[in-house]
Amino acid sequence: MPLRLTLALPPYLKEMKDCRNAWVNTNFLIWLGLKEQNELDLANKLATKTLDLVKKSGIKEFYNPYTGDRIRAKSFGWSTLVAIMKKALS
C-alpha cells in the first residue's frame, strides 16, 4: 500500500480527516526524493505499489490507506503523476 500521512493534528484541525489518506502526489514527491538520494530500490518499490493502487482503484483524488479503495473525486489530475513513475520503471 502506498504511504499514509500520519500527522499530529492540533485541536482546531482534528476534523481534517483527509490528511490521513493515501495521496498519489505525496507518493510522487517522496519517490522523487528517494531517487535523488539514490535509494532506487525503495523508489521502485513505492512506484510499483502506487501503480498497483491506481490499477486497482483507478485515477481518484485520494485513497483509503488500508484498503486502497478510492475516496472522493474521480479522474483527479494529480493522481496521473503515477504515469511518470510507471515510465521510470520501464
Predicted confidence band of residue 3 (pLDDT cuts 50, 70, 90): low
**Residue 4 forms part of a structural domain:** no
Query: Which residue has better confidence, 74 or 81?
Result: 81
**Residue 8 forms part of a structural domain:** no
pLDDT digits (tens, 9 = 90+) for 9-59: 556 555 555 555 677 888 888 999 999 999 999 999 999 988 888 888 888
**Residue 5 forms part of a structural domain:** no
- Count of domains in the chain? 1
pTM: 0.69
Cβ distance 50 to 24 under 8 Å?
A: yes
Kindly state the average pLDDT of the residues 53-70. Answer: 80
Query: Which residue has better confidence, 83 or 66?
Result: 83
Full domain range(s) for residue 61: 18-89
Please state, in angstroms and rounded to a whole number, the distance separating the CA atoms of residues 51 and 44: 10
